[in-house]
Amino acid sequence: MKTAIFYYSQSGQAHNVALRISVPMDTVVFKEIVPKEKYPFPWSSDIFYDTFPETRLGMPPSGIEPIDFSDIADADMVIVVGQSWFLSPSLPLQSFFADAQVRSYLNGRPVVFVNACRNMWLMTSRKIKEYLADIGARFVGHIVLQDETPNLISVITIIRWLVYGKKEPTRLLPPAGIADKDIYNATRFGEIIERTATEGNLNELQDRLLEAGAIHYKPSVLYVEKVGHRMFGLWAKFIRKKGGFRDPRRLRRIKLFNIYLMTVLFVVSPFGVLFFYLTYPLHHVGRDKQIDVKVS
């Protein structure tokens, strides 16, 4: 079987995930997603938050550099590896799925999406489903590799990594990002994808991936994500009223959003998790999980 793997990676984490998944596969061709708008790593705080409105509203400011499809025209399987930004697909991923050549290539093909993220992946998953359905691709598999440290600790470590470039652990903090062992063990997903596709049983792929631990479902975190996603939409529209991408006139509103986000993360979200568990019987966790982890 021949597999085309498209990936976008700033820090190298998503690329490493893609490499590990590919290990058991027969023939693999990697294609890097290169956005025309360059996003720095580490980020400056201002540029990072200025990227928020367009990310949340699905308005990528640029496309991607052309991709050579000549050596993957006969690929049997497509895997896309990327990440979430601000509870949405990253802007490079959005640009990728909006590209006319990409859309033509993916039409009718089976696609597995791999999200290498902090811990909030649900709204990204829903958006990816919309993209693939609109393209006419066949969404057959979804894998989430996430930071398994407690939510507030992962907020601190990810900011330290994204803004200051410091991934390594300290005396009090674990290393940022997905654990090395989880990336290393992602080879099991590649084996399942290869075997299931070769057998012609892609309808069973997601169930097999889930049995292997492809998604660690954290209902309290995803509850906070759903609420946050709605609020992010209001903030994104509020900021856009002052100007488009990189418009300095909106900087004051972006700084207000920064203050809001830090307040929500460290003050409000713990109470949100507590409220979720206090009202647990009122939530349809089992039903929601069945919907959220499926690809159709």
| 240 Cβ contact list (under 8 Å, min separation 6) | 53, 57, 250
Predicted confidence band of residue 213 (pLDDT cuts 50, 70, 90): very high
For domain 2-219, the CATH class is alpha beta
Give dist(CA 24, CA 227) in Å, integer: 39
Confidence band for 271, pLDDT divided at 50, 70 and 90? confident
Q: Tell me if 212 sits within 8 A of 189, measured CB to CB.
A: yes
- What is the CB neighbour count within 10 angstroms for residue 222? 20
Phi (first) and psi of residue 241, to 5 degrees: -65, -20
Task: Check if the beta carbon of residue 91 is closer than 8 Å to that of residue 51.
Answer: yes
Res 268 pLDDT > 90: no
**Nearest-angstrom CA–CA distance, 177 and 162:** 10
Phi and psi torsions of 223, nearest 5°: -65, -45
The Cα-based distances of 100 to 59, 60, 104, 115 in angstroms read: 16, 14, 6, 23
Count of helix runs (H) and strand runs (E) in the chain: 14, 7
Other Cβ atoms within 10 Å of 165 Cβ, number = 12
Is the pLDDT score of 200 beyond 90? Answer: yes
Task: Give the model confidence (pLDDT) of 230-239 as tens digits.
Answer: 999 999 999 9
Q: Does pLDDT of 285 surpass 90? A: no
3-class secondary structure per residue, 182-245: HHHCCHHHHHHHHHHHHHCCHHHHHHHHHHCCCCCCCHHHHHHHHHHHHHHHHHHHHHHCCCCC
Phi first, then psi: what are they for 271, rounded to 5°?
-70, -30
| CB-CB neighbours of 106 under 10 Å | 23
30: exposed, middle or buried (C-beta count within 10 Å: 0-12, 13-18, 19+)?
A: middle
Mean pLDDT of 78-95: 98
Structure confidence at residue 282 (pLDDT) = 76
Query: To which residue do tokens 């994500």 refer?
Result: 225
Least confident span in 25-39, 191-205, 282-296: 282-296
State the Cα–Cα distance between residues 253 and 47, nearest whole angstrom. Answer: 13
Answer yes or no: are the C-beta atoms of 3 and 76 closer than 8 Å: yes
Place of tokens 């299931």: 196
pLDDT of 277 reads 82
